[in-house]
Amino acid sequence: MALAFMIISQVLPAFAQDLEHSFCTQDAMVVLDASGSMSHDSWRTGSESAHTISRIDLMRYALGKVLPRVSRFRRVGLMSYGPTVVPGLFNQCDNIELNLRPTPNAAARIMASVKSLVPAGGTPLTRAVERGAEVLDYRNKPGVIVVLTDGEDTCGGSPCRVGKELHAFAEQLTIHVIGLRVKGLSEKDEERIPETQCLADYNGGLYLVPETTDDLIAALEKILGCPRVSRHGLIER
């Protein structure tokens, strides 16, 4: 009897932890900006006060902190844009790559792709989001897109138009946007609502503007994490 009690007491906490995340049923697609501007410096905060790191390295660091846990309970994929697909050709708006379809336990594979990216090229953000939605089969099932970017579309795309169109075809698609380099711009730029925010506004998502590395990690955890189940069977965030 004592042995049985010891086994149960060890198994239940692990079971309860898994149960917390059992309602994470929607596939997620991370759409990562790897355009030329992502090689520029990010912010100076906390332990980083003595030096700055590039925006792409900041994204790598934050994703590396969040994905190993999140990908245990959610199928996650990666779409990137920026580096030219064919070396030597500078068609900067035809540079979108599906690195990985939503896959269980995808953290290691996603991070390998993210670490190999060398920022370059333009920012076909809107088309990358459209392709991400197609991969998620958004017309037939719910899904989540997480856009990580430091700017606006530079390839003629209209996030507001596309955001509205995606919502018209699929109310179950959620699009979140995390925008770097928004704070600290000119007062005129800060007052202007980024057009990229339309993607979130039309599709039930969040538009988040982290100002520190901890903010960025918390933002990723919030939008990629799964609902929790309370002891009373209620779904919580």
Question: In the sheet where 173-179 sits, what is the strand order?
Answer: 96-103, 76-81, 27-33, 143-149, 173-179, 207-208
Enclosing domain of residue 127: 25-231
- Residue 12 inside a domain? The answer is no
**Residue 222 within a domain:** yes
14-28, 67-81, 156-170 — which is least confidently predicted? 14-28
Residue 55 contacts by C-beta under 8 Å, 6 or more apart in sequence? 37, 38, 39, 40, 41, 42, 150, 180, 181
pLDDT value, residue 82: 84
Residue with the bigger pLDDT between 184 and 113: it is 113
Higher-scoring residue by pLDDT: 126, 19: 126
Q: For 125-129, 131-135, 186-190, which range has the lowest pLDDT when averaged over its residues? A: 186-190
Instruction: Please give the model's pTM, rounded to 2 decimal places.
Output: 0.81
User: What pLDDT does residue 23 have?
Assistant: 56
Contacts of 171 (CB under 8 A, 6+ apart): none
Q: Is pLDDT above 80 for 165?
A: yes
Tokens representing 174 are 């959620």
pLDDT score at 15: 38
CATH number at residue 199: 3.40.50.410
Is residue 200 scored above 80 in pLDDT? yes
Q: What percent of the chain has pLDDT over 70?
A: 73
Rounded-to-integer distance, Cα 179 and Cα 32, Å: 11
Q: Is residue 8 part of a domain?
A: no
In a domain, 40, yes or no: yes
* Residue at 3 is within a domain: no
Tell me which of 44-48, 110-114, 162-166, 204-208 is least confident. 44-48
- HSE of 85, CA atoms in CB hemisphere, 13 A: 10
Residues 6+ apart with CB under 8 A from 97: 79, 80, 81, 83, 85
Distance separating alpha carbons of residues 160 and 152, to the nearest angstrom:
12
Which run of H or E residues covers position 88?
none
Q: Please determine, for residue 16, whether its predicted confidence score (pLDDT) is greater than 70.
A: no
Residue 16 lies in a domain: no
> How far lies 152's CA from each of 45, 57, 87, 126, in Å?
24, 19, 24, 9
Residue 15 located in a structural domain: no
How many folded domains does the chain comprise? 1
Q: What is the mean pLDDT of residues 188-216?
A: 84
Residue tagged 């009373």 (tokens): 232
pLDDT band at 185 (very low <50, low <70, confident <90, very high): very low
What digits encode the pLDDT tens for the residues 30-52? 999 999 889 887 765 444 444 57
Whether residue 140 is predicted with pLDDT greater than 80 in this model: the reply is: yes
Of the listed ranges 2-11, 86-95, 204-213, the one predicted with least confidence: 2-11
Residue 17 has pLDDT above 60, yes or no: no
Averaged pLDDT for residues 202-228: 91
